Amino acid sequence: MPGHIVTSYDTDLENLRRSISEMGGVAEKMTAEATDALVRRDDTLAQAVIVADKRLDALQRDIEERAVLLIARRQPLAIDLRETISAIRVSGDLERIGDLAKNVAKRVVAISDQAPAQKIVLGVRHMSDLAEGQLKDVLDAYASRDVQAAHDVWERDGEIDALYNSLFRELLTYMMEDPRNISFCTHLLFCAKNVERIGDHTTNIAETIHYLATGEALAGDRPKNDASNYATVDGVPAP
């Protein structure tokens, strides 16, 4: 009964989509809460983020397994094959986003006894707000198969990178002004780097949506503004 097979295949695909959507929800929440925990110095919330990552890892393994079995059993072609490959890719990116949020949460625990320096923490907050917004938009674009919305997210990755770049310089300057800031600011540097990488994985998802809809890789270089790999801070007075 081919009709039965088709229906069951559609159900499998629908279930994959639902699991991706669940992963997306968990990853969004972890990203938001890791930054909340950082801003509020909330160890309990940070621990909750660390624990939530296990759920995300389990979901990803499950999606990967089901998607591969689906490919092996149903031999999907064209759009159906892309649908299944995309599920594997998106779940991989969401799993990585969870890892990055967890890394931020771990650093919250590390710096919970250190001076606030709220101004700099708010720089990370601002970056994270941008990253969360783009993650939400890309997950909506994936759910509605909206290529244009995915392109919009892809174009905007440069904003997070530019913010990271300016925060990187600000943190370096702050460390040079007063060595007591070094330990704290180093952790913030890694937090900011993690948020910047959350933006990268969001951009990956936008590229996957393009591939899903068109069967082609998204052409052109990413609109990168991250020069921090090359950044040094000059003109800082020697102590």
Could you give the string, one character per residue 24-63, with x where binding to its own copies holds by CB under 8 A and - elsewhere?
-------------------------------------x--
- Picking from 80, 67, 90, 83, the residue whose alpha carbon sits closest to that of residue 205 is 90
Q: Which of 43, 183, 213, 218 binds its own copies (CB under 8 A)?
A: 183
Could you give the string, one character per residue 128-157, with x where binding to its own copies holds by CB under 8 A and - elsewhere?
------------------------------
Q: For the chain, how long is the longest CA-to-CA vector?
A: 80
Cβ-based neighbours of 193, under 8 Å, separated by 6 or more? 164
Site size for its own copies, by CB under 8 A?
41
Question: Where would I find the H helices in 145-235?
Answer: 147-177, 182-214
Nearer to its own copies, 9 or 146 (CB): 9
Other C-beta atoms closer than 10 Å to the C-beta of 68 total 12
| 109 belongs to the binding site for its own copies (CB under 8 A) | yes
Q: Kindly report the backbone phi and psi dihedral angles of residue 41, in degrees, each rounded to the nearest multiple of 5, phi listed first.
A: 55, 55
Token pair in block for residue 102: 């967890």
Token pair in block for residue 150: 């995915």
Q: Which of 35, 103, 165, 208 binds its own copies (CB under 8 A)?
A: 103
Give me the residues that bind its own copies (CB under 8 A), please.
61, 68, 71-73, 75-77, 81, 85, 92, 103, 106-107, 109-111, 113-114, 172, 175-176, 178-180, 182-183, 186-187, 189-190, 193, 217, 229-233, 236, 238-239
